Amino acid sequence: MDAQRWRRARELFDALVDTPQSEWRARVAEACADDPLVHDEVLAMLRADQATGSRADFDTCLPAAVAELAGRIADAAEDEASPACEGRAVGPFRLVREIGRGGMGAVWLAERADGAFRQRVAVKLIRSGWDVDEVLARFRAERQILAGLQHPNIAHLVDGGVTADGKPWLALEYIDGEDLRAWCDGRRLDLGARLQLFLTVCDAVAHAHQRLVVHRDLKPSNILVGRDGVVKLLDFGIAKLLDAADGGISATRVFTPEYAAPEQVRGELLTTAVDIHALGLLLYELLCGRRPFEAEHATPAAYERAVLDQEPTRPSLAVTRDGDDGATIAASRDLAPARLRRELRGDLDAIVLKALRKEPNQRYASVQAFADDVRRHLARQPVLARRGSWRYRSARFLHRHALAAALAGIAALALCGGLGAALWQAHAAGVQRDSARAALAFMRSLFDNADPAHRKGDQLSARDLLDAGTRTMRTALPGEDAARGDLLLTMASAYLGLEQLEAAAPLIDEVRTTAEARGDRAQLAAALVQQCRLRDLGNHSDECPSLLDRAESLLDTRDPAQARLVAYSLALRVYGLQLANRYDTIVDSMRRGLTLLGDGREDRYLRVELASHLAFALNRLERPAEAERVLAPWLAELRHDDDTERVLLVDTLGTLSSSLGALGRHDEAIAMQREAVDVAEKLYGRDDPTVAESYNTLARTLSGAGRLDEAVAAMLRAVELDRGNEAGGKNPELASALCNLAVLLVKQERYDEARARLDEAIAVAQTAEFDADLGRSLWWRAVVHLVAGHAPAARADEKRMVDVLAPTHAADDEAMLRGRALAFAADLVERGPAAANDSACADAAAVADAFSRTPQPAGADARFAAHLAALCAQRSPPATPVPPLAAHYARIAERIGEPWAQVR
């Protein structure tokens, strides 16, 4: 029965309850001729009221009822007045002080008293006078429910039992903190941070629902945030197991009226929708600091009537309800009132109101669906709660695709610049006005093309938007080559972001030609930088250094914009320097780039990128402590940024996790990388291929900690995600992921499985024409062949690897050194001492010496090369044991010893 029908039934019952029974049927039939459901409900209520007994029965029962109530009040008063519980032993614990009291009993802070170890817990005891069968059964049910819930954001059960006088007790994890709402307000958390905390609560509730448990009493006081910032869900005292027949627990309505769902008030069957409604109420308060319903009096009955009868006020309107300007509420969210209303209007209004629908089947189908819609809002994707128009969906699209949408920013700047100059420079007013009008006309035509109403409802893609802009630019801004060049470069950059190289190339060439003709040094440098990006993405990164050298020679670093371009060009050099094993140069270049940038927000993205490159290079140079010092200051700031900036958080966490792993702080490193995975999934979606890189790094972090089974599982997830990222049949990311998975399998000595993965990786890398991954996969397959004793196959793969990598890798690059060492090892396995001739041994010594000068001179590769050189010098297997090597190298060393033994 909906709220309107229930109100009608209640009003009719009130009107008829004192009338003679003989008149009921006729009067109900007259009043409810149009609604059989209300008719039957009113008659049932009247009969139930009559069945409660006559006044004489009530008079008879009243003295006993009053006496029982007086006894309970006296017992409760005695409990509250007596300090006897302090110091009382309950199981292995000693009660310290009372920290809470509710309808069932009291909660005490307790300490472990059995001497086994130090521990503080929250002990829950039933209040005297209330130990009736129903309450005892409910208490035991809570104990059973908590025992089955294991989640980092649910206060876990520590112990439980029965006191000497027969009362059950629970010992729960003690949370020293404050409720979620107060915690957020006290720290002036913005809406984004509040939504992230709310998603943590949703995860905990979803965990309970997966185990068929409905909490039924979610409210801020049952959700605490500890001093460590971790959210904890408490109090499953009235939780209900969905698959239980209540186990003797009464169906008595037990709830907090202010946070009850309509079906709880009506006494109907409860489902997970009750918790979804409560989460909607919680989110409402977190966002706008008020409750959605206005009750005339602060009484349970008033709240129940409001829940049944009122429609909730939209959060964006509630901020300034009752004549309050909302300044205090907005300030606790680090916003102005007008800005807070704008932030809440639209998506957040729709999400909250959907969760607060009166009918359970009109709310979100699950807590996960609720949380996913919040994540869509954070990712600037269309939310399911809001049946937006095509214009709304297009706006969401443009928010998500910032590269394409940057066209609007460039044009707006051109317009503003034109209008501003017109006010101050009379001579240039006409020219600037024409330029601004042309830019505005270009943007209008661009968004006309983007408007789905003009596209007959077709879906809009970023490529469609750019193609439309390119066509329009052919005739836009006549005579304004500088402004036109800026727009063309912006569109070319967006094309490169989409890996549409063929579309970007002519735009860059056109700007380069016109800039050279005009002598525009800054725009020519910008075109050269974009040309480097084009060559790099086209697997011709060797052409980048000369382009960037010329670009830097054209720029004046005294100009902030040109200094920013120099810093960006330094970042583009990193990949080539990595291939050349020049990590010291990377360190110097990144430090120089950071000195060129200012402290403004416009330089912030690039500053973090340079810092990440710097930290990565320091890690490779085995200077992880320095790397940590470079990146750690950014973490707190990035964790509280909006989604555009939080993209940087994923890479920062990944690089820092590598530093911590190198410092031996493996647990911290793994936790940090798991956070990176979580951030990436919230930004892009769980199944977006972009998340694969975070799983890849997680696998590497787990492997460094020796947790190979978990590493393989993470890498399998990365492979799964990369398989969904085909682009024209070419997928270099999949090749890399397959090779990484094979490396982990080699470490587990699962060589047959590793070879199968490497075969696929080689095929994918060859199709994608991605030489770096092709060469790496060939080397690892050569290792697997050699472990199996197939020296000719190993030599063939090693030779092919050298042919692939030689054009782009220096002779002293680690990959090339590993190839030379493996080739010599293959000869030793097959030919024994005959392979150790003077020329081969000289090369082995040179490889070992070169490895000693690499960033990681103590790694397994370097130790294996040194082992080969030592063996060669003795011209027989070393008398000393093989030094500690990776498992695959140890196996190869064993194979090398076999031919030598046969000769002797």
Strand order of the β-sheet with 223-226 is 177-179, 223-226, 231-233
402-424 helix and 390-400 helix, angle to the nearest 10 degrees: 90
CA atoms within 13 A on the CB side of 820: 26
Do residues 281 and 356 touch, judged by C-beta distance below 8 A? yes
Q: Which of 336, 343, 156, 143 is nearest to 232 (CA)?
A: 156
Give the integer Cα–Cα distance in Å for 123 and 90: 8
Residue 748's contacts (CB-CB under 8 Å, 6 or more residues apart) are 708, 712
Active site residue 217: yes
Structure tokens at 235: 């109090």
Burial 98-131 (b: 16+ CB within 10 A, else e): beeeeebbbbbbbebeeeeeebebbbbbbbbbbb
When computed from its CA atoms, the radius of gyration of the chain, rounded to whole angstroms, is 35
- Which CA distances in Å does 261 have to 137, 371, 401, 846? 24, 19, 39, 77
CA 364 to chain centroid: 21
Q: Is 272 helix (H, G, I), strand (E, B) or coil?
A: coil
Structure tokens at 320: 């300034």
Do residues 627 and 633 touch, judged by C-beta distance below 8 A? no
Query: Beta strands of 230-372 (E only): which ranges?
Result: 231-233, 240-241
Structure tokens at 341: 């209303």
DSSP 638-706: HHTS-HHHHHHHHHHHHHHHHHHHHTT-HHHHHHHHHHHHHHHHHHH-TT-GGGHHHHHHHHHHHHHTT
Q: Is 361 helix (H, G, I), strand (E, B) or coil?
A: helix
Q: What DSSP state is assigned to residue 621?
A: T
Q: How many residues does the chain have?
A: 904
Name the active-site residue from 190, 203, 217, 536.
Answer: 217
Residue 115's contacts (CB-CB under 8 Å, 6 or more residues apart) are none
Structure tokens at 824: 């010599």
Give the integer Cα–Cα distance in Å for 430 and 421: 10
Residue 168's contacts (CB-CB under 8 Å, 6 or more residues apart) are 126, 136, 139, 140, 143, 160, 161, 162
Give the integer Cα–Cα distance in Å for 118 and 103: 30
β-strand partners of 171: 123, 159
Residue at token pair 């090892």: 825
Residue 722's contacts (CB-CB under 8 Å, 6 or more residues apart) are 689, 692, 731, 733, 734, 737
Structure tokens at 546: 């000369």
Give the integer Cα–Cα distance in Å for 650 and 373: 22
The answer to whether 456 is annotated as binding is no
Residue at token pair 């802070």: 109
β-strand partners of 223: 233
DSSP 438-478: HHHHHHHHHHHHH-TTTTTTPPP-HHHHHHHHHHHHTTSST
Binding-site positions read 124
Binding-site positions for ATP read 124
Please list the active-site residues.
217
